[in-house]
Amino acid sequence: MKSLAERAAAHRPPLAKAVVWSAWPIVAALGIAYLIQIALAPALSDFHGKLLVDIGIAIILGVSLNFVNGYAGQFSLGHAGFMAIGGYTAAALVFYGGLKLFGVPEEGGISGLHGGFLGPGELLLLAGCLVGGLVAALAGWVVGLPSLRLRGDYLAIVTLGFGEIVRVLLQQTDDVVTDPAKIEAAGPLELADHLGGGFGFSFTPDYVDPKNPFWVWLFVVVVLLAAYRLKMSSKGRALLAVRENEIAAEAMGIPTTRVKVNAFVVSAFFAGIGGALYAHELGNSLRPADLGFQKSIDLVIIVVLGGMGSISGVVVAAAGLTILPELFREFAEYRMIVYALALILMMILRPNGLFGIREIWELDVWKRLFHRRAR
């Protein structure tokens, strides 16, 4: 029987085709995000617009957690910690960096925006998102490398502890520097210590608002693309295999610890981006207390209910769990109780979540409806 290397040589597609195949979703992402920006957003009320943005951020965070809790079948309870790291990194970069580079904007005072759509301020936001993601990814590597060797429940505790440590450390930071002259004079390391402490980083410019959801939805498409491409690949299948039966996966040559760590790092990266976008949303304040254990649990609920491993499931759950609290505003006290009962009943009755490991288009119900043979 021919070996893999031999066959691969035979299957190699021409470069041009591969480039098109690879790049078209990115172009489509830009197109979709732009369309949402100019066509959809203006048509929505402020309330619905904010909802749209919130759904987008929830999707980014949920899908990012899906890499670890879903694909790899590990249990991370500190996801909000990566969100916080990304958010604060971006906030510091955008706020302090913006004032240093561009001075005080014409309108809005120190929290004003630098330029409009795709202006210098927004490009700085893009940079903030990416840097925030990278720093969060680094944190993910530092946390994941030692702890993913441990058994499942231990990882839950370590990540929980990590999330709390991040929260406590952020609460120790000094007040945000608001005097433009001082900001100009100070060095980056010095400013890094001034992140608002317990009060939070309250002066972040609001680049993300109901009328400007472009960046959120651009990243939503990027995350979904990454999640999909990973899941349908050998690396993704290796992750799922680790989740299904770690011992067998190891016996088939998969370096299980390394694979888990990689998933953790990628997950942290996107959580950082989600956090960065969250930090700059109109109406949100970036506070350590909001990004603690409770937030991590909220994200876990999204992944568990959506079906750990199912991208579409998590998208549906993220959207649903963002919309539902708004619909049931009066019953706010019962919200968590309902979620809690949902979790408990889910685990007893339908432990695989809404769609399990499968995508919404892979469900048996379609096969029955269309009499299609199993793929």
Partner 1 sequence: MTKFVAVCLQTLTLGSLYALIALGYTLVYGVLRFINFAHSDVVTIGAWLAFVFAGALGWAGTDSPFFAMPVILMLTMAACATIGFTIQRLAYRPLRHAPRLNVLITAIGVSLLLQNLGQLPWVFGTQPQSMPKLLSERALFYVADVKVPMVDLVVVGLAVVLLVALEVLVFHSKMGKAMRAVSYDERTAALMGINVDRVISMTFMIGSGLAAAGGMIYGLKYNQLSQTADALWVLLGLKAFVAAVVGGIGNVRGAVAGAFLIAFIEMFGAAYRSPQMRDVYVFAILIIVLLFKPGGLLGKAAVEKV
Partner 2 sequence: MSVAAAPAATAAVPALAAEGLSIAFGGLKAVTDLTLIVPPRGLHGLIGPNGAGKTTAFNLLTGVYRADHGTIRLAGERIDGRRPNQIARAGLARTFQNIRLFGELTVLDNVRVAGGVRARSGFARTFLRTPLYLAEEAAIAERSLELLDVLGIGHRAGEQAKSLPYGDQRRLEIARALATEPKVLLLDEPVAGMNTHEKHAMRALIQSLRERFGVAILLIEHDMGLVMDICEHITVLDHGCTIARGKPAEVQQDPAVIEAYLGAPESDDLDAGAGGAAGEGT
Q: Provide the binding-site residues for partner 1, judged by CB under 8 A.
A: 73, 75, 146-147, 149-154, 156-158, 160-162, 164-165, 168-169, 171-172, 247, 289, 292-294, 297, 300, 304, 333-334, 336-337, 339-344, 346-348, 351
Distance CA 189, CA 32 (A): 38
Provide the minimum distance between the beta carbon of 323 and partner 1 in the complex, in angstroms, as a whole number.
20
Provide the minimum distance between the beta carbon of 13 and partner 2 in the complex, in angstroms, as a whole number.
5
Choose among 74, 353, 54, 364: nearest CA to 209.
54
CB nearer to partner 2: give 182 or 229.
Answer: 229
Host H or E run for residue 303: helix 293-306
Host H or E run for residue 166: helix 152-171
CB nearer to partner 2: give 116 or 255.
Answer: 255
CB nearer to partner 2: give 182 or 258.
Answer: 258
343 binds, among partner 2, partner 1, none (CB under 5 to 8 A by kind): partner 1
168 binds, among partner 2, partner 1, none (CB under 5 to 8 A by kind): partner 1
Chain position carrying tokens 């990027």 = 222
CB nearer to partner 1: give 31 or 146.
Answer: 146
In three-state form (DSSP H/G/I as H, E/B as E, the rest C), the secondary structure along 321-352 is HHHHHHHCHHHHHHHHHHHHHHHHHHHHHCCC
HSE value, Cβ hemisphere, 13 Å, CA-based, for 335? 16
327 binds, among partner 2, partner 1, none (CB under 5 to 8 A by kind): none
169 binds, among partner 1, partner 2, none (CB under 5 to 8 A by kind): partner 1
Q: Tell me, residue by residue from 240 to 269, as one string, x for binding to partner 2 by CB under 8 A and - for no binding.
A: xx--xx-xxxxxxxxxx-----x---x---
Part in contact with partner 2 (CB under 8 A); list of ranges 74-82, 88-96, 187-195, 231-239: 231-239
Distance CA 146, CA 179 (A): 42
**Is the separation of the CB atoms in 177 and 191 below 8 Å?**
yes
Does residue 351 sit in helix, strand or coil?
Answer: coil
| Residue 32 burial (C-beta neighbours within 10 Å; 0-12, 13-18, 19+) | middle
Query: What is the DSSP code (8-state) at residue 297?
Result: H
Provide the minimum distance between the beta carbon of 342 and partner 1 in the complex, in angstroms, as a whole number.
8
